[in-house]
Amino acid sequence: MKLYGISNCDTVKKARAWLDQHRAEYQFHDFKKHGLEPELAQCWLQQMGWESLINRKGLTWRGLSVEQKQAINDNNSALPLLLEKTSVIKRPLLEQDGKLLHIGFDDVSYEKIFNFKS
């Protein structure tokens, strides 16, 4: 199990705290420190689509020009943005064996994924 995100993101902190509290085994991959492999980003785009992966409410997206935003209209046009500005990716992303299990964090979804009962 791998958790992808940015260390100082509040939602990532909540997810990591939940995983630690429930003693779930996982590896954390920080986009800021370790980047994002193009093959992995492409795999995620194929699984979820660019509209699910890009956080259009975040500061990074809002900081883009109108032209830059309008140029993102499919998976192929989104890939360079995901690789260049990893903070535009919704986070955290929970992945296992190449399959993206969940984007974001909420207790109920994580309980189902890890088969925990509240």
Q: Give the pLDDT confidence score for residue 98 in this predicted structure.
A: 86
pLDDT of residue 116: 74
Q: What tens digit of pLDDT does each residue of 55-100 get?
A: 999 999 999 999 999 999 999 999 999 999 999 999 999 999 989 9
Radius of gyration from C-alpha coordinates of the chain: 14
Please give the single-letter amino acid code of residue 15. Answer: A
Instruction: Check if 9 is active-site.
Output: yes
Which candidate in 3, 4, 5, 9 is catalytic?
9
CB atoms within 10 A of CB 40: 19
CATH superfamily of 2-113: Glutaredoxin (3.40.30.10)
The reported pLDDT for the residue numbered 10 is: 95
**Distances in whole angstroms, Cα of residue 30 to Cα of each of 5, 45, 74, 118:** 5, 19, 25, 28
Strand, helix or coil for residue 111:
helix
C-beta neighbour count of 64 within 10 angstroms: 16
